[in-house]
Amino acid sequence: ETGVTQTPRHLVMGMTNKKSLKCEQHLGHNAMYWYKQSAKKPLELMFVYNFKEQTENNSVPSRFSPECPNSSHLFLHLHTLQPEDSALYLCASSHDPPALGLRSYEQYFGPGTRLTVT
């Protein structure tokens, strides 16, 4: 496996279900991100983890719960979602910008999980 992988690629769930999205990166990065991509809206940053510690929570509803057990894996646990949560959820990783002193770091994206809430 190379790069950033995400599973599942597609997920349909009811509003009362609980599911989890998984992201894994094989790039040796220590920062990982969750983004939400909805139609006709800019990508929305949801969560940021640096060295397994959450450093950003962009006012995301509590029905989305991230987990980062190590710097290679990132999960997004979902429960009691709403139809408006249907979107493409993208995971990304990068080197930790402050550690490198760079603001020009690149983020590498996974292919995303297409989520449909019924």
CB contact set of 73 (below 8 Å; sequence gap of 6+): 22, 23, 24
Residue closer to another protein by CB (options 52, 95) is 95
Dig out the tokens for 90 from the structure. 């993208």
The contact pattern for another protein, residues 62-91, with x = CB under 8 A and - = no contact, is ----------------------------x-
Dist CA 23 CA 92 (whole Å): 8
- For another protein (CB under 8 A), the number of binding residues is 22
Interface with another protein in residues 17-56 (CB under 8 A): 40-43, 45, 56
Tell which one of 4, 76, 78, 117 touches another protein (CB under 8 A). Answer: 4
Decide if residue 108 touches another protein (CB under 8 A): yes
- Minimum Å gap between C-beta 65 and another protein is 21
d(CA 48, CA 14): 27
Nearest to 117 by CA among 80, 76, 79, 86: 86
State yes or no: residue 110 binds another protein (CB under 8 A): yes
